[in-house]
Amino acid sequence: MEASGSSGSTSGAAEHAPLKRGIGGFLLFFFVLGDIVGAGIYALVGEVGAVVGGAIWSAFLCAFVLAIFTAVSYAELVTKYPRAGGSATYVNNAFRNPFVSFMVAFAVAAASLTSASTLSLAFAGDYLKQFIGVPTVLAALVFVVIIGFINFYGISESVRLNLVFTCIEIFGLLLIVLIGVFALGAGTGDPGRAFEFKEGTSLLPAILGGTVLAFYALIGFDDSVNVAEEVREPSRVYPRAILGGLLAAGIIYLLVTFTASMVVPTTALAESSGPLLEIVERSPVAIPTQFFAAIALVAVSNGALINLIMASRVVYGMGDQGVLPSMFSRVHPNRRTPWVAILFTTAVVFVLLSVIGPFPTALDTLSTTTVVLLLLAFIMVNISVLALRNDPVDHDHFRAPSVFPVLGIIISAALLIYQAISDISVFGLAGLLLAVGLVLYGVNLLVKRRVDHEDPQAREGR
């Protein structure tokens, strides 16, 4: 028997060639790991230290535990409904409300595109200037075009490039851990600093504030569900890939953050725009800073590429379900990638970079706004797990213990409330982005009504 959710999700979808299933379990694991272990850890260590103090690892540990609950919910939904579109697909199946699913999808896509834009500027910033001095915006625009072409060229090629980039990223982080080992042996490290919290700040607020920032570095497991139609045997491989990738990233993060506090004073980490470079510069073993800067560039590139892949698949999924015009679900006949969605999302990032340029938005404000948008989506996803429990499908799938989505809802809401109390300004930025989505939804609705009025047969066909 076909699931009611499955049948409903495709209503209004355009007929097109299927996406190529070019991702196996091994590549999917590295896709997840590469999306999590990206630019966040390379940039946010100092920001978290400014809030928590030397015990940076405590915030990352809390963020990891909190992420597990929602990751388990995603594992159930993606194996139950292995379609592109991710969060929007699940919410659409649960609520049968195009407006709700559109806003959830827009929140996820907006967070992804903003992140991709920021990472493009980060690529063109201080790390690139270690090698060549070029205008930041120009370098960022060229970079976006290149990763947009890689995204179009093919999912297999993209995730294989992701595999190479992920290995380089992990090598860079393991190099940081190795520096910590040498620092301990040489007596230049201070392990006690890793257990110190910020002076003059209560313990719980410090950890909560750091957790919100650290959560940004752990998101990424949710991106992988947007390539579900391009994964072989998704119901079998997804739970291991999502949970395994998150666990591996959590372990690496704990080791890196402990090393960072031990090797570099917290104030120096907090003031640095390249905190991991501070560790390299203080290493008892001589390591060229340009060598590590190159690794950081790879990490930023990988994050930007995966963000563009995810955003384009969200837009493709919305077009496939009729929430956006069907043109967004068009698949290239040769490359078998959603070329219109890729072109659209790449163009949005291109415009953002051209108009905004290198703006002085603080890293913590950007990352916190992204987390706020995604926490809203996570709440809806966890609710969807519970709402769809009685929706049968014709294949086996992973089933999350009911306590996991319940805790995912409570924890996500608690983080949002804490953030609202501590700094309401980021909700203004998030609200502005969602308002843009609301306008787009209204325009699309008016266009559909006009088409229905001019062509009654099209309305009857739907």
Q: What is the pLDDT of residues 185-220, one digit of tens each?
A: 888 888 999 899 988 888 888 888 889 888 888 887
- Could you tell me the pLDDT band of residue 98, with boundaries at 50, 70 and 90? confident
Closest CA to 114 of 359, 422, 316, 378: 359
pLDDT value at 311 more than 60: yes
CB 47 within 8 A of CB 363: yes
Return the pLDDT at 298: 85
User: Using CA atoms, how far apart are residues 384 and 363, in angstroms rounded to an integer?
Assistant: 32
CB 36 within 8 A of CB 162: no
- The CA-CA-CA angle for residues 187, 193, 196, to 5°, reads 165
Give the Å distances, CA to CA, from 369 to 67, 104, 129, 226, 373.
17, 15, 27, 21, 6
User: Using CA atoms, how far apart are residues 177 and 307, in angstroms rounded to an integer?
Assistant: 27
Percent of the chain surpassing pLDDT 90: 19
Return the pLDDT at 6: 38
Closest CA to 53 of 254, 210, 272, 213: 210
Q: Which domains does the chain have, with CATH numbers?
A: 26-448 (1.20.1740.10)
pLDDT value at 382 more than 90: yes
pLDDT value at 394 more than 90: no
Is the pLDDT higher at 383 or at 26?
383
What pLDDT, in 10s, does the model give residues 395-433? 888 898 999 999 999 989 988 998 888 878 888 878 877
Return the pLDDT at 177: 92
Q: What does DSSP assign to residue 23?
A: B
Helix-, strand-, coil-residue percentages of the chain, each rounded to 5: 75, 0, 25
pTM score of the predicted model: 0.78
For the four alpha carbons of 79, 81, 82 and 85, in that order, the dihedral sign comes to negative
What pLDDT, in 10s, does the model give residues 424-442? 888 887 887 788 778 777 7
> Encoding tokens for residue 138?
């120009």
Is the pLDDT higher at 272 or at 169?
169
CB 271 within 8 A of CB 47: no
Average pLDDT, the chain: 81
User: Using CA atoms, how far apart are residues 60 and 455, in angstroms rounded to an integer?
Assistant: 55
What pLDDT, in 10s, does the model give residues 55-93? 999 999 999 988 999 999 999 998 888 876 677 778 888
pLDDT value at 12 more than 50: no
Non-local (6+) Cβ contacts of 140 within 8 A are 120, 121, 123, 124, 353
User: Using CA atoms, how far apart are residues 338 and 158, in angstroms rounded to an integer?
Assistant: 13
What pLDDT, in 10s, does the model give residues 338-368? 888 899 889 888 887 777 655 444 456 667 7
- Could you tell me the pLDDT band of residue 19, with boundaries at 50, 70 and 90? low
